[in-house]
Amino acid sequence: MRTRTSRSVRLLAAVTLYAAALGAVSGCGGSPQSVRSGDTETQARRAQQVAAAWDGSAAAGAWRNGFHPMSDVMHAPPGGLRSKADRQAYEDHSFVLEGELPATAPKGGLVAWSDGRTLTRPLTGAAESYRALAGGARVGGRPHLTVTGARLGGMSVATTRGPAVIPAWLFRLKGYAAPLERAAVTASELPRPPVKGALDVPGFPLGRMVRMSADGRSVTVVALHGVCGKGPAVDVLETRGSVVLSASVKAPAEGGHCTKQGKLQEVTVRLGRSLGDRVLLDVHTGRPVFYRPPHGPSPSWS
């Protein structure tokens, strides 16, 4: 399938996100290695191995039966924030509390999908949810949003199993009629992979998933490439139960100066059919390429 590289995310002198995963996978001046002639066959064999290990496995079943958000777990009030200062405060997690928050809450909350399936997940308290919302940052003289209270309600999020309604804390914001919504339930743990990582495979591990199209026919992931290369490329192996992504670097032109730098980019991958409940996997790690909400914690591994 085709891939399309969108905007650069950030240029890093040392790409901390990938340091542990890359290990010995290096190339020009210590930057990610480009895939040469014959290396694509190695990637293809590894992709088949990863797909075979996951398809029909207990790990795949746990993935499909879990709660894995595919959209942000925090929603600004309907209609959006009214000023540039408020929008900046929202992005910076700049909040102050002026009011009381509920001291008690149920221990569990029900995640409900449109097909009737449900799942009970642990419920976070209002105070804990507020601390995650505010991020522990000192506001000082910076623009901020003021929380005056909260109540337990619900919100809709996209998940690997389709749209779901989940419990949410509805935080009242000073100056706004509608509340800010933040998920009150935790995501399921990511299943233990049924296949070990293989970092000797040409290319490099992928980062997180950024977004999925409404029809599930394309996914956008964070990929790494060195300044020596022409950009990242992502090959796709689709099976009935999984989609395996193999990231590599387009070979650079001969000659020229090469520095030890890496660039993170968003790469949009087109699929032959909707991702659905298939597991999106990385060929190098053998693990799911999970979605990390911009205003929520990363899911943990089981």
- The rounded distance, in Å, linking the Cα atoms of 33 and 53 is 26
At residue 1 the predicted structure's pLDDT band, cuts being 50, 70 and 90, is low
Residue 290 lies in a domain: no
223 in the same domain as 173: no
Which among 188, 181, 170, 169 is positioned nearest to 119, based on CA atoms?
188
Number of domains composing the chain: 2
Distance separating alpha carbons of residues 242 and 286, to the nearest angstrom? 11
Q: Are 122 and 107 in contact (CB under 8 A)?
A: yes
Q: pLDDT band at residue 11, thresholds of 50, 70 and 90?
A: very low
Which H or E element spans position 221?
A: strand 218-226
| Predicted confidence (pLDDT) per residue in 87-98, tens digit | 999 998 899 999
Structure tokens that stand for 114 in this block: 């449109």
Select from 201, 143, 165 the least CA-distant residue to 67. Answer: 165
Of 207, 225, 203, which is closest to residue 31 (Cα–Cα)? Answer: 225
Q: Do both 233 and 267 map to the same domain?
A: yes
Bridge partners of 291, per DSSP, are 209
Rounded mean pLDDT, 295-301: 75
Residue 96: other Cβ atoms inside 10 A: 13
Q: How far apart are CA 70 and CA 274, in angstroms?
A: 14
171 lies in the same domain as 204: no
Question: 177 and 204, same structural domain?
Answer: no
> How far, in Å, CA of 28 to CA of 12, rounded?
16
Is the domain of 108 the same as that of 50? no
pLDDT over 70 (residue 228): no
Domain boundary among 183, 213, 248: 183
pLDDT digits (tens, 9 = 90+) for 20-58: 443 333 333 334 444 444 578 899 999 999 999 999 999
Clarify whether residues 212 and 152 are in a common domain: no
Residue 301 lies in a domain: no
Instruction: Map residue 223 onto helix, strand or coil.
Output: strand
Greater confidence (52 vs 229) lies with 52
Instruction: State the DSSP H helix or E strand holding residue 61, giving kind and residue range, or none if neither.
Output: helix 58-65
Each residue of 159-180: pLDDT tens digit? 988 899 999 999 999 999 999 9
Q: Is 288 among the domain residues?
A: no
How far, in whole angstroms, is CA 39 from its chain's centroid? 28
Residue-wise pLDDT for 118-154, tens only, equals 999 999 999 999 998 887 666 677 889 999 999 999 9
Is the domain of 57 the same as that of 204? yes
Q: Is residue 161 part of a domain?
A: yes
Query: pLDDT tens digits, residue range 182-219?
Result: 999 999 999 999 999 997 888 888 988 998 898 899 99
pLDDT digits (tens, 9 = 90+) for 61-79: 999 999 999 889 999 999 9
pLDDT recorded at residue 214: 86
Average pLDDT over residues 236-254: 84
Give the contacts of 43 (CB within 8 A, at least 6 positions apart): 35, 201, 202, 203, 235, 246, 248, 283
Structural domain contains residue 59: yes
Domain assignment of residue 292, yes or no: no
- The predicted structure's pLDDT at residue 30: 39
More confident residue, 229 or 99: 99
Residue 233: per-residue pLDDT? 84
In whole angstroms, give the CA distance from residue 185 to residue 73.
10
pLDDT at 115 over 50: yes
301 — pLDDT class (breaks 50, 70, 90): confident
User: What is the rounded distance in angstroms from the CA atom of residue 102 to the CA atom of residue 38?
Assistant: 61
Where does the pLDDT of residue 223 fall: very low under 50, low under 70, confident under 90, or very high at 90 and above? Answer: confident
Within a domain: 287: no
Asked if 82 and 168 sit in the same domain, the reply is yes
In a domain, 291, yes or no: no
Question: What's the one-letter identity of residue 145?
Answer: L
Same domain, 83 and 153: yes
pLDDT tens figures, 249-278? 766 655 555 555 567 889 999 999 999 889
The parent domain of residue 207 ranges over 3-65+191-282
Please state, in angstroms and rounded to a whole number, the distance separating the CA atoms of residues 166 and 110: 6
Domain termination residue (choose one: 139, 158, 183): 183
Average pLDDT over residues 106-113: 94
Say what the pLDDT of residue 251 is: 62
